[in-house]
Structure 1
Amino acid sequence: MLARKIKNQLFLLFVSTIMLLTCIPLLLIIKHILTMGASAFSLELILNTPKAVGELGGGIAHAIAGSLLIVALASLYAVPIGIIAGVFLSEFRNSKLTFPLRTALDTLAGTPSIVIGIFAYVILVVPLKSFSGLAGSVALSLIIIPIVVKSTEEILKLIPITLREAGLALGFSRTKVIWHILIKCHRQALLTGVMLALARTMGETAPLLFTAFGNSNFTLNLRGPMASLPVQIFNYASSPHKDWQEQAWSGALVLIILVFLLSLSAKLVISVKLKK
Protein backbone atom coordinates (compact mmCIF):
# COMPACT_ATOMS: atom_id res chain seq x y z
CA MET A 1 0.00 0.00 0.00
CA LEU A 2 2.82 2.39 0.93
CA ALA A 3 4.72 1.52 -2.25
CA ARG A 4 1.63 2.30 -4.35
CA LYS A 5 1.26 5.74 -2.70
CA ILE A 6 4.94 6.50 -3.28
CA LYS A 7 4.64 5.53 -6.95
CA ASN A 8 1.53 7.68 -7.28
CA GLN A 9 3.26 10.70 -5.71
CA LEU A 10 6.34 10.23 -7.89
CA PHE A 11 4.18 10.04 -11.01
CA LEU A 12 2.29 13.21 -10.04
CA LEU A 13 5.62 14.95 -9.39
CA PHE A 14 6.91 13.83 -12.79
CA VAL A 15 3.77 15.04 -14.61
CA SER A 16 3.79 18.37 -12.75
CA THR A 17 7.47 18.89 -13.64
CA ILE A 18 6.80 18.21 -17.32
CA MET A 19 3.86 20.65 -17.29
CA LEU A 20 6.01 23.31 -15.63
CA LEU A 21 8.83 22.81 -18.14
CA THR A 22 6.29 23.13 -20.95
CA CYS A 23 4.92 26.42 -19.59
CA ILE A 24 8.29 28.03 -18.82
CA PRO A 25 9.16 29.04 -22.44
CA LEU A 26 5.72 30.61 -22.91
CA LEU A 27 5.95 32.48 -19.61
CA LEU A 28 9.43 33.76 -20.49
CA ILE A 29 8.23 34.97 -23.89
CA ILE A 30 5.24 36.76 -22.37
CA LYS A 31 7.40 38.29 -19.61
CA HIS A 32 9.93 39.57 -22.14
CA ILE A 33 7.25 41.06 -24.41
CA LEU A 34 5.53 42.70 -21.43
CA THR A 35 8.82 44.17 -20.24
CA MET A 36 9.90 45.46 -23.65
CA GLY A 37 6.46 46.46 -24.91
CA ALA A 38 5.20 48.34 -21.87
CA SER A 39 7.39 51.39 -22.57
CA ALA A 40 5.61 52.40 -25.80
CA PHE A 41 2.21 50.87 -25.05
CA SER A 42 -0.43 53.58 -24.80
CA LEU A 43 -3.81 54.69 -26.09
CA GLU A 44 -1.99 56.83 -28.66
CA LEU A 45 -0.30 53.73 -30.06
CA ILE A 46 -3.64 51.97 -30.57
CA LEU A 47 -5.62 54.92 -31.93
CA ASN A 48 -3.08 56.79 -34.08
CA THR A 49 -1.36 56.11 -37.38
CA PRO A 50 2.41 56.33 -38.00
CA LYS A 51 4.16 59.66 -38.14
CA ALA A 52 6.79 60.65 -40.68
CA VAL A 53 10.23 59.07 -40.48
CA GLY A 54 12.27 60.79 -37.78
CA GLU A 55 9.26 62.03 -35.80
CA LEU A 56 8.61 60.40 -32.45
CA GLY A 57 5.24 58.94 -31.54
CA GLY A 58 2.51 57.73 -33.84
CA GLY A 59 0.68 54.46 -33.63
CA ILE A 60 -0.38 51.24 -35.30
CA ALA A 61 -4.14 51.75 -35.61
CA HIS A 62 -3.94 51.17 -39.37
CA ALA A 63 -2.22 47.82 -38.82
CA ILE A 64 -4.71 46.66 -36.17
CA ALA A 65 -7.66 47.57 -38.40
CA GLY A 66 -6.00 45.93 -41.41
CA SER A 67 -5.34 42.68 -39.56
CA LEU A 68 -8.89 42.47 -38.23
CA LEU A 69 -10.36 43.19 -41.67
CA ILE A 70 -8.14 40.72 -43.54
CA VAL A 71 -8.74 37.92 -41.01
CA ALA A 72 -12.49 38.63 -40.96
CA LEU A 73 -12.67 38.46 -44.76
CA ALA A 74 -10.56 35.29 -44.79
CA SER A 75 -12.99 33.67 -42.35
CA LEU A 76 -15.89 34.44 -44.71
CA TYR A 77 -14.21 32.27 -47.34
CA ALA A 78 -12.71 29.62 -45.12
CA VAL A 79 -15.28 28.88 -42.41
CA PRO A 80 -18.19 27.72 -44.64
CA ILE A 81 -15.83 25.67 -46.82
CA GLY A 82 -14.11 24.18 -43.77
CA ILE A 83 -17.35 23.24 -42.00
CA ILE A 84 -18.85 21.69 -45.16
CA ALA A 85 -15.67 19.71 -45.81
CA GLY A 86 -15.51 18.60 -42.17
CA VAL A 87 -19.14 17.43 -42.30
CA PHE A 88 -18.43 15.52 -45.51
CA LEU A 89 -15.39 13.75 -44.07
CA SER A 90 -17.31 12.82 -40.92
CA GLU A 91 -20.69 11.84 -42.34
CA PHE A 92 -19.72 10.46 -45.76
CA ARG A 93 -16.52 8.67 -44.80
CA ASN A 94 -17.24 5.78 -47.17
CA SER A 95 -17.35 8.04 -50.22
CA LYS A 96 -14.68 7.66 -52.89
CA LEU A 97 -13.90 11.35 -52.52
CA THR A 98 -13.05 11.06 -48.82
CA PHE A 99 -9.49 9.76 -49.22
CA PRO A 100 -8.29 12.28 -51.85
CA LEU A 101 -10.00 15.14 -49.97
CA ARG A 102 -8.42 14.15 -46.66
CA THR A 103 -5.01 13.76 -48.33
CA ALA A 104 -5.30 17.18 -49.96
CA LEU A 105 -6.32 18.83 -46.68
CA ASP A 106 -3.53 17.13 -44.72
CA THR A 107 -1.05 18.33 -47.33
CA LEU A 108 -2.45 21.86 -47.16
CA ALA A 109 -2.26 21.81 -43.36
CA GLY A 110 1.42 20.84 -43.54
CA THR A 111 2.33 23.38 -46.22
CA PRO A 112 4.59 26.18 -44.90
CA SER A 113 2.79 29.51 -44.74
CA ILE A 114 5.45 31.17 -46.88
CA VAL A 115 4.67 28.72 -49.70
CA ILE A 116 0.98 29.62 -49.42
CA GLY A 117 1.99 33.29 -49.58
CA ILE A 118 4.02 32.71 -52.76
CA PHE A 119 1.08 30.79 -54.29
CA ALA A 120 -1.32 33.66 -53.56
CA TYR A 121 1.25 36.10 -54.94
CA VAL A 122 1.47 34.19 -58.24
CA ILE A 123 -2.27 33.70 -58.78
CA LEU A 124 -3.52 37.07 -57.47
CA VAL A 125 -0.84 39.73 -57.07
CA VAL A 126 0.99 39.12 -60.36
CA PRO A 127 -2.13 39.00 -62.60
CA LEU A 128 -3.69 42.03 -60.88
CA LYS A 129 -0.31 43.83 -60.81
CA SER A 130 -0.91 45.06 -57.27
CA PHE A 131 -0.59 43.93 -53.70
CA SER A 132 -3.94 43.87 -51.93
CA GLY A 133 -5.70 43.01 -48.72
CA LEU A 134 -7.94 40.76 -50.80
CA ALA A 135 -4.96 38.63 -51.81
CA GLY A 136 -3.89 38.50 -48.17
CA SER A 137 -7.30 37.27 -47.07
CA VAL A 138 -7.23 34.50 -49.71
CA ALA A 139 -3.80 33.39 -48.47
CA LEU A 140 -4.96 33.31 -44.84
CA SER A 141 -8.13 31.43 -45.80
CA LEU A 142 -5.95 28.59 -47.13
CA ILE A 143 -4.41 28.35 -43.66
CA ILE A 144 -7.76 28.51 -41.85
CA ILE A 145 -9.56 25.87 -43.96
CA PRO A 146 -7.67 22.72 -42.83
CA ILE A 147 -7.86 23.81 -39.17
CA VAL A 148 -11.63 24.31 -39.34
CA VAL A 149 -12.06 21.03 -41.25
CA LYS A 150 -10.14 19.07 -38.62
CA SER A 151 -11.94 20.65 -35.66
CA THR A 152 -15.35 20.15 -37.30
CA GLU A 153 -14.63 16.52 -38.08
CA GLU A 154 -13.40 15.78 -34.56
CA ILE A 155 -16.43 17.51 -32.98
CA LEU A 156 -18.87 15.53 -35.13
CA LYS A 157 -17.10 12.28 -34.25
CA LEU A 158 -17.95 12.89 -30.59
CA ILE A 159 -21.69 12.99 -31.30
CA PRO A 160 -23.30 9.59 -30.51
CA ILE A 161 -24.54 7.63 -33.51
CA THR A 162 -27.86 7.24 -31.70
CA LEU A 163 -28.68 10.92 -32.34
CA ARG A 164 -28.29 10.41 -36.06
CA GLU A 165 -30.37 7.23 -35.95
CA ALA A 166 -33.08 8.95 -33.89
CA GLY A 167 -33.36 11.74 -36.45
CA LEU A 168 -33.63 9.29 -39.33
CA ALA A 169 -36.21 7.22 -37.41
CA LEU A 170 -38.37 10.35 -37.03
CA GLY A 171 -38.45 10.71 -40.79
CA PHE A 172 -35.82 13.42 -41.19
CA SER A 173 -33.73 13.32 -44.32
CA ARG A 174 -29.99 12.96 -43.91
CA THR A 175 -29.55 16.61 -44.85
CA LYS A 176 -31.93 17.74 -42.10
CA VAL A 177 -30.25 15.47 -39.57
CA ILE A 178 -26.89 17.06 -40.41
CA TRP A 179 -28.21 20.63 -40.34
CA HIS A 180 -30.68 20.56 -37.43
CA ILE A 181 -29.09 17.96 -35.14
CA LEU A 182 -25.36 17.89 -35.87
CA ILE A 183 -24.66 21.51 -36.78
CA LYS A 184 -27.35 23.63 -35.11
CA CYS A 185 -27.29 21.72 -31.83
CA HIS A 186 -23.49 21.81 -31.64
CA ARG A 187 -22.84 25.23 -33.17
CA GLN A 188 -21.10 26.47 -30.02
CA ALA A 189 -18.49 23.74 -30.23
CA LEU A 190 -18.02 24.47 -33.94
CA LEU A 191 -17.67 28.17 -33.16
CA THR A 192 -14.93 27.32 -30.68
CA GLY A 193 -12.95 25.57 -33.40
CA VAL A 194 -13.40 28.56 -35.69
CA MET A 195 -12.16 31.05 -33.07
CA LEU A 196 -9.10 28.94 -32.33
CA ALA A 197 -8.35 28.80 -36.08
CA LEU A 198 -8.62 32.60 -36.29
CA ALA A 199 -6.33 32.98 -33.27
CA ARG A 200 -3.82 30.71 -34.98
CA THR A 201 -3.96 32.78 -38.18
CA MET A 202 -3.86 36.23 -36.56
CA GLY A 203 -0.08 36.16 -36.20
CA GLU A 204 0.84 34.93 -39.70
CA THR A 205 3.42 37.18 -41.32
CA ALA A 206 4.91 35.44 -44.37
CA PRO A 207 1.69 35.16 -46.45
CA LEU A 208 0.92 38.85 -45.90
CA LEU A 209 4.40 39.96 -46.91
CA PHE A 210 3.75 38.50 -50.37
CA THR A 211 0.15 39.64 -50.70
CA ALA A 212 -1.09 42.59 -48.60
CA PHE A 213 2.51 43.87 -48.34
CA GLY A 214 1.79 46.84 -46.07
CA ASN A 215 0.69 50.47 -46.04
CA SER A 216 1.72 53.39 -43.85
CA ASN A 217 -1.72 54.99 -44.22
CA PHE A 218 -5.03 54.01 -42.67
CA THR A 219 -7.10 52.37 -45.41
CA LEU A 220 -10.01 49.97 -45.65
CA ASN A 221 -9.58 49.48 -49.39
CA LEU A 222 -9.04 45.75 -49.86
CA ARG A 223 -8.05 46.23 -53.50
CA GLY A 224 -4.79 47.95 -52.61
CA PRO A 225 -1.85 47.37 -50.27
CA MET A 226 -3.02 47.13 -46.68
CA ALA A 227 -1.21 47.22 -43.37
CA SER A 228 -1.34 44.29 -40.98
CA LEU A 229 -0.07 43.91 -37.45
CA PRO A 230 2.43 41.05 -38.03
CA VAL A 231 4.00 42.80 -41.04
CA GLN A 232 4.11 46.12 -39.17
CA ILE A 233 5.90 44.43 -36.28
CA PHE A 234 8.38 42.88 -38.72
CA ASN A 235 9.07 46.21 -40.44
CA TYR A 236 9.45 48.15 -37.20
CA ALA A 237 11.60 45.46 -35.53
CA SER A 238 14.04 45.50 -38.47
CA SER A 239 14.14 49.31 -38.54
CA PRO A 240 17.21 51.22 -37.25
CA HIS A 241 14.94 53.71 -35.44
CA LYS A 242 14.72 53.03 -31.72
CA ASP A 243 11.21 54.50 -31.44
CA TRP A 244 9.93 52.10 -34.10
CA GLN A 245 11.65 49.18 -32.41
CA GLU A 246 9.85 50.04 -29.17
CA GLN A 247 6.56 50.21 -31.07
CA ALA A 248 7.32 46.79 -32.54
CA TRP A 249 7.48 45.32 -29.04
CA SER A 250 4.24 47.10 -28.14
CA GLY A 251 2.67 45.80 -31.36
CA ALA A 252 3.70 42.28 -30.35
CA LEU A 253 1.98 42.87 -27.01
CA VAL A 254 -1.20 44.01 -28.80
CA LEU A 255 -1.06 40.90 -31.00
CA ILE A 256 -0.73 38.63 -27.98
CA ILE A 257 -3.70 40.38 -26.36
CA LEU A 258 -5.83 39.84 -29.49
CA VAL A 259 -4.89 36.16 -29.67
CA PHE A 260 -5.54 35.78 -25.94
CA LEU A 261 -8.99 37.35 -26.29
CA LEU A 262 -9.90 34.97 -29.11
CA SER A 263 -8.67 31.97 -27.13
CA LEU A 264 -10.50 33.20 -24.01
CA SER A 265 -13.70 33.60 -26.03
CA ALA A 266 -13.34 30.01 -27.20
CA LYS A 267 -12.94 28.82 -23.61
CA LEU A 268 -15.99 30.81 -22.51
CA VAL A 269 -18.06 29.26 -25.30
CA ILE A 270 -16.97 25.81 -24.15
CA SER A 271 -17.84 26.56 -20.52
CA VAL A 272 -21.30 27.85 -21.49
CA LYS A 273 -21.88 24.72 -23.56
CA LEU A 274 -20.87 22.45 -20.66
CA LYS A 275 -23.19 24.29 -18.23
CA LYS A 276 -26.12 23.72 -20.60
Structure 2
Amino acid sequence: MEMQAVEAAQRWLADQGVSQVRDGWVSDEEPDVLLTANQVAHSWAGDVFAEDLDTDQLRLAFGLLDLLDDYWVTCEIRFANESADGPLPADVLWDGYRQRLEADLGVEAVTYSLWVDWFEDHATSATAFAEVLGKDIDRVVAERSDVLLRRARRVLECSGPVRWVVKEPTYRTAVQLSALHSALFRGLRASFHDVYGDLEPAAALALLDQLDLPANTQHVAELRHVLAAGHENHYRSPGAWDDAVRSCS
Protein backbone atom coordinates (compact mmCIF):
# COMPACT_ATOMS: atom_id res chain seq x y z
CA MET A 1 0.00 0.00 0.00
CA GLU A 2 1.40 3.37 -1.04
CA MET A 3 0.44 5.92 1.59
CA GLN A 4 0.77 8.82 -0.82
CA ALA A 5 -1.64 7.12 -3.21
CA VAL A 6 -4.05 6.37 -0.37
CA GLU A 7 -3.92 9.94 0.87
CA ALA A 8 -4.53 11.21 -2.66
CA ALA A 9 -7.56 8.90 -2.90
CA GLN A 10 -8.87 10.17 0.43
CA ARG A 11 -8.54 13.76 -0.76
CA TRP A 12 -10.23 12.93 -4.04
CA LEU A 13 -13.15 11.27 -2.28
CA ALA A 14 -13.43 14.25 0.05
CA ASP A 15 -13.73 16.46 -3.04
CA GLN A 16 -16.62 14.24 -4.11
CA GLY A 17 -18.22 14.77 -0.70
CA VAL A 18 -17.34 11.30 0.65
CA SER A 19 -15.54 10.75 3.93
CA GLN A 20 -14.57 7.82 6.10
CA VAL A 21 -16.10 7.36 9.54
CA ARG A 22 -15.54 4.75 12.20
CA ASP A 23 -17.85 2.08 10.79
CA GLY A 24 -17.80 2.90 7.09
CA TRP A 25 -18.30 5.86 4.80
CA VAL A 26 -20.76 8.75 4.47
CA SER A 27 -21.56 11.22 1.72
CA ASP A 28 -22.45 14.87 2.11
CA GLU A 29 -25.69 14.22 0.25
CA GLU A 30 -26.90 11.62 2.76
CA PRO A 31 -24.81 12.06 5.91
CA ASP A 32 -27.07 9.77 7.93
CA VAL A 33 -26.65 6.81 5.57
CA LEU A 34 -23.67 4.58 6.33
CA LEU A 35 -21.99 3.23 3.20
CA THR A 36 -19.78 0.20 2.79
CA ALA A 37 -16.50 0.28 0.88
CA ASN A 38 -18.21 -1.71 -1.89
CA GLN A 39 -20.96 0.89 -2.19
CA VAL A 40 -18.39 3.67 -2.38
CA ALA A 41 -16.50 1.75 -5.07
CA HIS A 42 -19.63 1.19 -7.16
CA SER A 43 -20.77 4.79 -6.84
CA TRP A 44 -17.52 6.70 -7.31
CA ALA A 45 -14.61 4.59 -8.62
CA GLY A 46 -15.65 5.02 -12.25
CA ASP A 47 -15.58 8.79 -11.85
CA VAL A 48 -11.81 8.67 -11.42
CA PHE A 49 -11.57 8.25 -15.20
CA ALA A 50 -14.37 10.65 -16.10
CA GLU A 51 -12.03 13.23 -17.64
CA ASP A 52 -8.69 11.56 -18.40
CA LEU A 53 -7.14 8.12 -18.73
CA ASP A 54 -3.65 9.26 -17.90
CA THR A 55 -0.96 8.16 -15.47
CA ASP A 56 -2.18 10.36 -12.63
CA GLN A 57 -5.73 9.05 -12.88
CA LEU A 58 -4.57 5.44 -12.97
CA ARG A 59 -2.39 5.97 -9.91
CA LEU A 60 -5.35 7.60 -8.21
CA ALA A 61 -7.46 4.54 -9.03
CA PHE A 62 -4.84 2.25 -7.48
CA GLY A 63 -4.84 4.47 -4.40
CA LEU A 64 -8.60 4.05 -4.24
CA LEU A 65 -8.11 0.28 -4.50
CA ASP A 66 -5.68 0.38 -1.57
CA LEU A 67 -8.07 2.53 0.43
CA LEU A 68 -11.27 0.58 -0.21
CA ASP A 69 -9.77 -2.90 -0.77
CA ASP A 70 -12.69 -3.66 -3.08
CA TYR A 71 -12.64 -5.72 -6.26
CA TRP A 72 -14.98 -3.33 -8.06
CA VAL A 73 -12.21 -0.74 -8.30
CA THR A 74 -10.21 -3.20 -10.41
CA CYS A 75 -13.28 -3.61 -12.63
CA GLU A 76 -13.37 0.13 -13.26
CA ILE A 77 -9.65 0.08 -14.08
CA ARG A 78 -10.24 -2.62 -16.66
CA PHE A 79 -13.33 -0.87 -18.07
CA ALA A 80 -11.22 2.25 -18.57
CA ASN A 81 -8.46 0.23 -20.20
CA GLU A 82 -10.91 -1.29 -22.69
CA SER A 83 -12.89 1.89 -23.34
CA ALA A 84 -12.83 3.87 -26.56
CA ASP A 85 -10.35 6.26 -24.93
CA GLY A 86 -8.07 3.42 -23.76
CA PRO A 87 -5.79 1.72 -23.27
CA LEU A 88 -4.33 2.92 -19.99
CA PRO A 89 -0.56 3.45 -19.69
CA ALA A 90 0.63 -0.17 -19.68
CA ASP A 91 3.76 0.44 -17.61
CA VAL A 92 1.79 2.08 -14.81
CA LEU A 93 -1.03 -0.46 -15.03
CA TRP A 94 1.15 -3.53 -14.62
CA ASP A 95 3.52 -1.89 -12.17
CA GLY A 96 0.47 -1.19 -10.03
CA TYR A 97 -0.48 -4.86 -10.08
CA ARG A 98 3.09 -6.02 -9.41
CA GLN A 99 3.54 -3.70 -6.44
CA ARG A 100 0.37 -4.92 -4.79
CA LEU A 101 1.17 -8.57 -5.45
CA GLU A 102 4.48 -8.02 -3.67
CA ALA A 103 2.97 -6.22 -0.67
CA ASP A 104 2.92 -7.86 2.75
CA LEU A 105 -0.83 -7.34 2.94
CA GLY A 106 -3.96 -9.14 1.88
CA VAL A 107 -4.48 -8.71 -1.86
CA GLU A 108 -7.62 -10.74 -2.51
CA ALA A 109 -9.15 -8.04 -4.71
CA VAL A 110 -6.02 -7.98 -6.88
CA THR A 111 -5.62 -11.75 -7.26
CA TYR A 112 -9.36 -12.16 -7.88
CA SER A 113 -9.12 -9.51 -10.58
CA LEU A 114 -6.26 -11.37 -12.25
CA TRP A 115 -8.07 -14.68 -12.04
CA VAL A 116 -11.59 -13.87 -13.23
CA ASP A 117 -10.89 -10.92 -15.51
CA TRP A 118 -7.40 -10.77 -16.98
CA PHE A 119 -6.58 -14.51 -16.90
CA GLU A 120 -9.94 -15.94 -17.98
CA ASP A 121 -10.03 -13.69 -21.06
CA HIS A 122 -7.76 -15.19 -23.72
CA ALA A 123 -7.47 -11.76 -25.33
CA THR A 124 -5.63 -10.48 -22.24
CA SER A 125 -4.31 -13.53 -20.38
CA ALA A 126 -0.98 -13.86 -22.18
CA THR A 127 -0.04 -10.21 -21.69
CA ALA A 128 -1.30 -10.12 -18.11
CA PHE A 129 0.52 -13.30 -17.09
CA ALA A 130 3.75 -12.13 -18.73
CA GLU A 131 3.57 -8.77 -16.99
CA VAL A 132 2.85 -10.03 -13.48
CA LEU A 133 5.16 -13.07 -13.55
CA GLY A 134 6.26 -14.56 -16.86
CA LYS A 135 8.82 -11.90 -17.71
CA ASP A 136 10.28 -12.00 -14.20
CA ILE A 137 10.36 -15.71 -13.36
CA ASP A 138 14.10 -16.03 -14.10
CA ARG A 139 14.78 -13.12 -11.74
CA VAL A 140 12.52 -14.67 -9.11
CA VAL A 141 14.53 -17.89 -9.20
CA ALA A 142 17.87 -16.09 -9.26
CA GLU A 143 17.22 -13.52 -6.51
CA ARG A 144 14.74 -15.43 -4.30
CA SER A 145 13.79 -12.25 -2.47
CA ASP A 146 10.75 -12.31 -0.21
CA VAL A 147 8.82 -9.78 -2.29
CA LEU A 148 9.42 -11.57 -5.58
CA LEU A 149 8.55 -14.95 -4.09
CA ARG A 150 5.38 -13.48 -2.62
CA ARG A 151 4.32 -12.17 -6.02
CA ALA A 152 5.20 -15.43 -7.75
CA ARG A 153 3.21 -17.53 -5.28
CA ARG A 154 0.13 -15.36 -5.62
CA VAL A 155 0.21 -15.40 -9.41
CA LEU A 156 0.85 -19.14 -9.67
CA GLU A 157 -2.05 -19.92 -7.38
CA CYS A 158 -4.58 -18.03 -9.53
CA SER A 159 -3.11 -18.94 -12.91
CA GLY A 160 -5.44 -21.85 -13.66
CA PRO A 161 -7.29 -20.14 -16.55
CA VAL A 162 -4.11 -19.05 -18.36
CA ARG A 163 -3.55 -21.14 -21.48
CA TRP A 164 -1.07 -23.96 -20.94
CA VAL A 165 1.16 -22.89 -23.82
CA VAL A 166 1.49 -19.47 -22.16
CA LYS A 167 2.21 -20.56 -18.61
CA GLU A 168 4.12 -23.83 -19.06
CA PRO A 169 7.53 -22.17 -19.57
CA THR A 170 7.02 -20.20 -16.36
CA TYR A 171 5.86 -23.33 -14.53
CA ARG A 172 8.93 -25.24 -15.70
CA THR A 173 11.21 -22.48 -14.43
CA ALA A 174 9.33 -22.23 -11.13
CA VAL A 175 9.97 -25.95 -10.52
CA GLN A 176 13.62 -25.09 -9.94
CA LEU A 177 12.72 -23.34 -6.69
CA SER A 178 11.29 -25.49 -3.91
CA ALA A 179 9.87 -22.39 -2.22
CA LEU A 180 7.39 -22.19 -5.10
CA HIS A 181 6.40 -25.85 -5.19
CA SER A 182 3.26 -25.58 -3.06
CA ALA A 183 2.02 -22.58 -5.04
CA LEU A 184 2.81 -24.38 -8.28
CA PHE A 185 0.82 -27.39 -7.09
CA ARG A 186 -2.17 -25.13 -6.39
CA GLY A 187 -1.75 -23.67 -9.86
CA LEU A 188 -1.76 -27.13 -11.42
CA ARG A 189 -4.78 -28.18 -9.38
CA ALA A 190 -6.64 -25.01 -10.40
CA SER A 191 -5.66 -25.64 -14.01
CA PHE A 192 -7.66 -28.86 -13.77
CA HIS A 193 -10.56 -27.70 -11.58
CA ASP A 194 -11.30 -24.16 -12.81
CA VAL A 195 -14.14 -23.83 -15.29
CA TYR A 196 -11.70 -22.17 -17.69
CA GLY A 197 -8.67 -24.08 -16.44
CA ASP A 198 -6.19 -25.25 -19.01
CA LEU A 199 -3.42 -27.85 -18.96
CA GLU A 200 -1.78 -30.59 -21.00
CA PRO A 201 -2.08 -33.77 -18.89
CA ALA A 202 1.27 -35.42 -19.66
CA ALA A 203 3.28 -32.21 -19.24
CA ALA A 204 1.36 -31.30 -16.08
CA LEU A 205 2.01 -34.76 -14.64
CA ALA A 206 5.72 -34.43 -15.36
CA LEU A 207 5.76 -31.17 -13.42
CA LEU A 208 3.70 -32.61 -10.58
CA ASP A 209 6.16 -35.46 -10.18
CA GLN A 210 8.98 -32.96 -9.64
CA LEU A 211 7.31 -31.15 -6.75
CA ASP A 212 8.57 -31.60 -3.22
CA LEU A 213 5.39 -31.06 -1.23
CA PRO A 214 4.58 -31.27 2.49
CA ALA A 215 3.35 -34.71 3.50
CA ASN A 216 -0.05 -33.33 4.50
CA THR A 217 -0.74 -31.72 1.09
CA GLN A 218 -4.23 -32.79 0.06
CA HIS A 219 -5.30 -34.12 -3.34
CA VAL A 220 -1.85 -34.84 -4.74
CA ALA A 221 -2.68 -38.47 -5.47
CA GLU A 222 -6.05 -37.56 -6.97
CA LEU A 223 -4.50 -34.98 -9.27
CA ARG A 224 -1.83 -37.44 -10.36
CA HIS A 225 -4.56 -40.01 -11.07
CA VAL A 226 -6.63 -37.78 -13.35
CA LEU A 227 -3.57 -36.48 -15.19
CA ALA A 228 -2.22 -39.98 -15.73
CA ALA A 229 -5.60 -40.91 -17.20
CA GLY A 230 -5.26 -38.05 -19.68
CA HIS A 231 -7.98 -35.77 -18.34
CA GLU A 232 -7.57 -32.07 -19.13
CA ASN A 233 -10.30 -30.44 -17.08
CA HIS A 234 -12.79 -31.30 -14.35
CA TYR A 235 -15.73 -29.95 -16.36
CA ARG A 236 -14.80 -31.73 -19.58
CA SER A 237 -14.43 -35.03 -17.72
CA PRO A 238 -17.38 -35.27 -15.34
CA GLY A 239 -16.85 -37.94 -12.73
CA ALA A 240 -13.11 -38.27 -13.29
CA TRP A 241 -12.22 -36.58 -9.99
CA ASP A 242 -14.74 -38.65 -8.05
CA ASP A 243 -13.25 -41.79 -9.60
CA ALA A 244 -9.79 -40.58 -8.53
CA VAL A 245 -10.99 -39.97 -4.97
CA ARG A 246 -12.38 -43.50 -4.77
CA SER A 247 -9.26 -45.00 -6.28
CA CYS A 248 -6.93 -43.13 -3.94
CA SER A 249 -8.89 -43.61 -0.72
Give the alignment's TM-score, normalised by structure 1.
0.27
Higher relative contact order (CA 8 A, sep 6+): 1
> Highest CA radius of gyration, 1 or 2?
1
Greater percentage in helix: 1
Give the alignment's TM-score, normalised by structure 2.
0.29
